[in-house]
Amino acid sequence: MSDRPLTRNIDPVAGPTWIKTYEANDGYQAVRETIGQRSPADVLDMVRESNLRGRGGAGFPTGMKWSFVPMGKTDGHKYLVCNADEMEPGTFKDRIILEYDPHQLIEGMILSAYTIAADVGYIFIRDEYHVATRRLRQAIAEAEQKGYLGNDILGTGYDFHLYVHVSAGRYICGEETALLNSLEGKRATPRAKPPFPQVSGLFGRPTIVNNVETLCNITHIVGKGPDWFKSLGLGDDSGTKLFGASGKVKRPGCWELPMGTTIGEIIEDHAGGMREGLALKGFLPGGASTDFLLPEHLDLRMDYDTIMQAGSRMGTGTMIIMDDKTCPVAMVRNLEMFFARESCGFCTPCREGLPWIFRILDDIEEGRGMPEDMEVLDRQGRFIGAIGNTHCAHAPGAIEPLSSAIRYFREDFEQHIQGKRCPYAGG
């Protein structure tokens, strides 16, 4: 049994794994042994027992999420939607699976759809992923020819049709109800909840939205059992995880490692440590919308609860590394510019507050900052960053890197204001 189930078929030199090779490596075996052979309730129990948590950032228990869907057949469609938009800055993990092992995702979606009795599925993918889109469509065609997709799958009477939907491209589509609005052809604005998508989602029908990596894990949980999956983790969280590191490390990249691998091992052993002449100043542990952590946190395990207790979130598990020659004010300014541009514009604190924050940071970085700017940033961070003050979690996520940068690197902000210039300029 592979201890790297998600990446066992991935070899960029050899190219994508098509259906003949995928089947030769036990591909679609879980589908053959499950559809019509196990009850959906039994599969749901396996997912619950596995302790799989969503790999898109929130870490919500997958089995619990699925259990909110009205079980059994209903009048009308049920939908399964894969979120393959992957627009979190610093995140590039799902693209590896989409491009090099598309059948793994398809098999995971078939098993997931069977569990919730969904008959239609969509892979919602960002427009820039041209290669992934092309390979997914080819893999779907192969699966249809083999009888794994379409009507009467493998003669069991179960129907499931799968489509690729290319997104117009907005970061807000990472919020599942904004994604569903976009999929319906509407403006990508998050919906008020309740009702939740599990009861009233796509076109008002019961819908589950899961991340690529989450759905791929279903293939292995069903094929090898929840106890095997739990044994892969090093702590309370089960399975493996696609971890990544970007920034001025020697070997930026993405690796499948056990849940609970320490931050230090990821940065030092897998990413090769910092480049020559540079030292680690801080890092965002789970993409751009997480709080900074410091070198003193290198011994922490990368799992949901440990990183939360340290004052941040594991998020996507893809770290953005900041070295001691990179200006934290400039880095945060860049992130806030992105978040301000990607606001859906529905609520005032996000629509007006994030551009205001960006303008203040721009002034500070360019030498126009005033001492009172820090008070404004503090106040804005407390207001916009509070869950419940905005329509969705976009603005609170945007505030996390800012508030933590002020908390840990406030001296850098003050040096900009006092010196009327960026002290890192030309460094």
Instruction: Give the model confidence (pLDDT) of 325-346 as tens digits.
Output: 999 999 999 999 999 999 999 9
Question: What's the confidence (pLDDT) of residue 2?
Answer: 67
State the pairing for strand pair 280-284/318-323. antiparallel
Average pLDDT over residues 378-404: 92
Question: Measuring CA to CA, how many Å separate 40 from each of 65, 114, 163, 250?
Answer: 15, 6, 22, 46
Q: Which residues contact 13 (CB under 8 A, 6 or more apart)?
A: none
Contacts for 62 with CB less than 8 Å, ≥ 6 apart: 47, 52, 53, 54, 210, 214, 218
Predicted confidence at residue 386, as pLDDT, reads: 86
Residue 396 has pLDDT above 50, yes or no: yes
CATH code, residues 5-232 = 3.40.50.11540
In this structure, are residues 35 and 156 in contact, taking their beta carbons and an 8 Å threshold? Answer: yes
Domain made up of 328-419: CATH architecture: Up-down Bundle (1.20)
3-state secondary structure of 122: strand
Domain(s) of CATH 3.10.20.600: residues in the chain: 240-323
Helix (H, G, I), strand (E, B) or coil at 233: coil
- At residue 285, the pLDDT reads 96
**Greater model confidence, 74 or 4:** 4
pLDDT grade for 255, boundaries at 50, 70 and 90: very high
At 361, the pLDDT band (50, 70, 90 cuts) reads very high
- Measured between alpha carbons, how far is residue 13 from residues 16, 82, 117, 294 in Å? 9, 27, 38, 36
Write down the pLDDT at residue 115.
97
Q: What percent of the chain shows pLDDT beyond 90?
A: 92
Write out the residue limits of the CATH 1.20.1440.230 domain(s) in the chain. Answer: 328-419
Give 158-207 pLDDT, tens digit per residue.
Answer: 999 999 999 987 899 989 999 999 999 999 999 999 999 999 999 999 99
Is this structure's pTM higher than 0.85?
A: yes
The residue that leads in pLDDT, 87 or 144, is: 144
> Which CATH number is correct for 240-323, 3.10.20.600, 3.30.465.10, 3.30.70.1350, 3.40.50.300?
3.10.20.600
- Please give the mean pLDDT across all residues of the chain: 94
CA distance 289 to 360: 19
CATH 3.40.50.11540 residue window(s) in the chain: 5-232
